[in-house]
Amino acid sequence: MKRVIFGKVLAGLAVFVMAASASAGEKIGIFSMSRVVNESLKGKEMQAQLIKLREKQQKTLQGMAEKIKAVREEMRTLDPSDPKLDNLRETYRTELEEYRRVRQRLKKELDKRFRELSARIAQDVRRLVREIAKKKRMEYVFEERGSGVVFFPASRDITDEIIKLYDREYKKRKR
């Protein structure tokens, strides 16, 4: 019970401090990283790269799965006493293990690529946020999802500015 009361008091204090800061002329901004990733040219390029990589991986896995299926079908057509059946069982087992290994490796590869691309975008966005905050003399800028802010006036949202600036830079680099 004491923790609940303490938590409520702490939350109320945080709201009070933010409200007092805002009324004292401090500027606060907020942005949506997910919108930057989904709407910016660089974010769309990142998503296209990941989709292309995933499709390539799926083709690889599909080819392996077809081989496994062919071996399994051949096993079903043989008589249980046929000496080829033992070899086919071993081939099936080996192919299935290889499929699982490759699938795991490809998943790790895709995850790693996602982390690399996301880190680049996050680094760029942090730099852009600092530029915008400095220009607008903002003292605090929060990322919408991780900040705990549930409501904010639209006038505090700098997401569109970030996207425009990011796209402008992206177009210059592409030339």
Class of domain 22-174: alpha beta
61 and 102 in contact (C-beta within 8 Å)? yes
- pTM for the whole structure: 0.73
Measured in whole angstroms, the distance separating CA 78 from the mean position of its chain's CA atoms is: 48
In tens, the pLDDT along 41-87 reads 999 999 999 999 999 999 999 999 999 999 999 999 988 888 899 99
59 and 102 in contact (C-beta within 8 Å)? no
> Can you give the residue ranges of every domain in the chain?
22-174
